[in-house]
Structure 1
Amino acid sequence: MDGLERAMPEVVEANPDPVDFWPVFSEMADVIEESASPGSDAQVVHERIDALLAKHGFSMLRIDVNELDTGE
Structure 2
Amino acid sequence: MAYTYLTTEELSQLIKYETRVIREQLKDSVLFEGIHYIRPFGGRKILFIWERVEDEMLNGVTAESLLLK
Question: Could you say whether these structures have the same fold, taking a TM-score greater than 0.5 normalized by the shorter chain as the test?
Answer: no
Bigger strand share:
2
The structure that has the greater radius of gyration is 1
TM-score (norm 2): 0.28
